[in-house]
Amino acid sequence: EVQLLESGGGLAQPGGSLRLSCAVSGFTFSRYGMSWVRQAPGKGLEWVSSISGSGGSTYYADSVKGRFTISRDKSKNTVYLQMNSLRAEDTAVYYCATVGNWFDPWGQGTLVTVSS
């Protein structure tokens, strides 16, 4: 069974940092691109970042470019999202998902709250 399990969410201060993790099981991790998608409270979905199966290519939404870094560790079957210079508008549930030409499957999400 394919499973994606996010962790690392919590409360951070404006200007602070957090690192999210997404542990993957049930499929060959290195064969698939991975993405992070977020959803602010009561709002819609927003693509944040993607990384290729090899980890050699990364892509970011303009809203997080220069502040967030996506990476993956094939020895741990885990993808990460390092979030620096956090802003109040980064408050959201962050989902990881496998990406091809679509997003599937998804994890259950982890809540990030940026507030002083």
d(CA 40, CA 31): 30
CB nearer to another protein: pick between 17 and 54: 54
Q: Give the shortest CB-61-to-another protein separation in angstroms.
A: 6
Chain length of the chain: 116
- List, in order, residues 6 or more apart from 89 with CB less than 8 Å away: 40, 63, 114
Q: Give the shortest CB-49-to-another protein separation in angstroms.
A: 10
d(CA 61, CA 36): 10
Site residues (vs another protein, CB under 8 A) = 35, 37, 44-47, 50, 57, 59, 61-63, 95, 99, 101-109
Query: How many Cβ atoms from other residues are within 10 Å of residue 62's Cβ?
Result: 6
CB nearer to another protein: pick between 2 and 15: 2
CB nearer to another protein: pick between 7 and 17: 7
SS3 state at 88: helix
Q: Give the shortest CB-70-to-another protein separation in angstroms.
A: 12
Q: Give the shortest CB-16-to-another protein separation in angstroms.
A: 25
CB nearer to another protein: pick between 16 and 41: 41
d(CA 116, CA 79): 28
